[in-house]
Chains A and B, each alone.
Chain A
Amino acid sequence: MAEIQQNSGGGDGKKRAKKQSTRVDMTPLVDLAFLLLTFFVLTSTFSKPKVLRMIFPEKLEKDNPNVKPPEIKDGLTILLTANDNIFYYQGALNKETEIIRTDYTKNGLRKLLVEKNAPLIEKLKKLQIELADVKEGDTANRNRIERQAKDEQMQSKLVVLVKHDKDATYENVIDVVDEFLITQVAKYFVVDPGLDPIETAKIQEQLND
């Protein structure tokens, strides 16, 4: 598309400097630019993946009979099984324990955790409001509130155990841990052994209903 100005022919015979167009044909340049643009748009990965931090306790010595896995008397136990099924019960396990079925939706697991964790959520909310009022640069106060929030988390009474059978998937575990983060559950453990026979039997009962 180079533009060439057509001279209308010498009119009066005087020699003039040729009026040459200063325009450059930019079409190839544009072609190249868009080619590169398309390439980078298609190959670039925009959002970097995020990470979820998980800490596992040091290994218990299996051969040592004195070392027993910790037992939690009044905790909440969540059981993950095949086909994204999820169950929970409160307290210690015995024959009378009622195992309740729930699901991964907002009204299932999250509602349950919010209810159970209400005292801590309440306290943290208050601290958050307090933190919003702290003036900028007032690090002493800020640190104090942050420390207090940590203390509250440490003293939280809610302890959640996550147990799974061999069919639970990675996604199930991540979903549950993510749910803990959302509902501010401070103390949770993903334990490695499979389900107790009592638990398995009760789950089977539930599934058959």
Chain B
Amino acid sequence: MPKVKMPRSTPALDMTPMVDLAFLLVTFFMLTSSFRAPEPIILDPPSSTTEQQIPKQVFLIMIDEDGRAFVDVTNAAVKSKVLKKMMSQFKTGGLSEEDINKFAGVGPIGLRMAEIPTFMELESTERTAYEQRGVPYDTAAANIKNSELYYWAYFTKIEAHNDYKQREEEAKLRNMEFDKSNYIQFAIKAASNAKWDKIQYIIDVFREAKVKEFQMITGLESAPES
């Protein structure tokens, strides 16, 4: 019996469709993904059935189990301005213009104002290891308005308003449509097992700064059928 001869040519596979698909997926993921800023704490928020999207711009308040508060502003320009105001309020020196701009990119911060210059000197890898003890606040009625957390809220509120007005004017000047819903809102992200008491304290500090509306960040949960 004659042997079945295997064809000599190398087994070639037409990979073009596969490459097409792979690149399509790569492009899709590249365009849709947004990178998370490094966070000093990892929180597991509870879930809810709301379908309201998180606002485009937020003043984020992160509260962990122990009641430490971390703050962040997603708008870099506003964040730098707020930091400058904080520096003059608490007489913090030692930050260059470059540091202030860099500060906007470091993500949520849970430090006393006095610590920030040393923190900014660190390399980015060292920063993640730095133990942040939370923005200080005091809920005693007499001191509430002296705490750093209060001023973060207060200055952000002012700067957010200025930013909104500025963008509105710019839009008017250029005769463009202005998105009225795009303003900095206050959002709270807290750990599920954090005590509500502690969160209430922090909310109280914000209420003192005349912030009344909060967006509670939650995970997604499917709504029950009626």
A174 near B54 (CB under 8 angstroms)? no
| B46 proximity list for chain A (CB < 8 A) | 170-171, 174-175
B203 contacts the other chain (CB 8 A):
yes
Residue in chain B with minimal CB distance to A128: B226
A49 near B193 (CB under 8 angstroms)? no
B19 contacts the other chain (CB 8 A):
yes
A36 contacts the other chain (CB 8 A):
yes
A56 near B216 (CB under 8 angstroms)? no
A26 near B19 (CB under 8 angstroms)? yes
Fill in one digit per residue for A67-78: 1 if any B CB lies within 8 Å of its CB, else 0.
000000000000
B117 contacts the other chain (CB 8 A):
no
Residue from the list A27, A49, A168 in contact with B15, Cβ < 8 A: A27
A192 near B204 (CB under 8 angstroms)? yes
Which residues of B in the span 185-208 have a Cβ within 8 Å of any Cβ on A? 187, 189-197, 199-200, 203-204, 207-208
Number of A residues with CB within 8 Å of any CB on chain B: 53
| A17 proximity list for chain B (CB < 8 A) | none
Q: Determine how close the nearest CB of chain B comes to the CB of A64; give it in whole angstroms.
A: 12
A33 near B22 (CB under 8 angstroms)? yes
| B217 proximity list for chain A (CB < 8 A) | 49-51
A50 near B193 (CB under 8 angstroms)? no
A166 near B204 (CB under 8 angstroms)? no
| A178 proximity list for chain B (CB < 8 A) | 48-50, 218, 221
A45 near B34 (CB under 8 angstroms)? yes
A50 near B53 (CB under 8 angstroms)? yes
A66 contacts the other chain (CB 8 A):
no
B2 contacts the other chain (CB 8 A):
no
Residue in chain B with minimal CB distance to A63: B141
Which residues of B in the span 203-225 have a Cβ within 8 Å of any Cβ on A? 203-204, 207-208, 210, 212-221, 223-224
Q: Determine how close the nearest CB of chain B comes to the CB of A148; give it in whole angstroms.
A: 20
B91 contacts the other chain (CB 8 A):
no
Q: Determine how close the nearest CB of chain B comes to the CB of A75; give it in whole angstroms.
A: 20
B22 near A30 (CB under 8 angstroms)? yes
| A170 proximity list for chain B (CB < 8 A) | 46, 63, 190-196, 199
B45 near A49 (CB under 8 angstroms)? yes
Q: Determine how close the nearest CB of chain A comes to the CB of B27; give it in whole angstroms.
A: 9
- Given A30-B22, A49-B217, A56-B207, verify A182-B224 contact (CB < 8 Å): yes
Fill in one digit per residue for B135-159: 1 if any A CB lies within 8 Å of its CB, else 0.
0000001000000000000000000
| B12 proximity list for chain A (CB < 8 A) | 1, 3, 23
| A23 proximity list for chain B (CB < 8 A) | 12
B130 contacts the other chain (CB 8 A):
no
B48 near A58 (CB under 8 angstroms)? no
Which residues of A in the span 50-96 have a Cβ within 8 Å of any Cβ on B? 50-59, 62-63, 80
Given the complex of chains A and B, what is the CA–CA distance between A156 and B220 in angstroms? 29
What residues make up the interface of A, taking CB atoms closer than 8 Å to B? 1, 3-6, 23, 26-27, 29-30, 33-34, 36-37, 40-41, 43-45, 47-59, 62-63, 80, 106, 110, 164, 166-175, 177-178, 181-182, 192
9 residue pairs, one from A and one from B, having the closest CB atoms = A44-B33, A40-B29, A33-B22, A51-B215, A171-B192, A171-B46, A178-B48, A52-B216, A26-B15
Contacts A27-B15, A48-B54, A54-B213 known; 14 new A-B pairs at CB < 8 A:
A1-B12, A3-B10, A33-B19, A41-B29, A43-B33, A45-B34, A47-B220, A50-B48, A50-B50, A52-B218, A58-B207, A164-B196, A171-B46, A182-B224
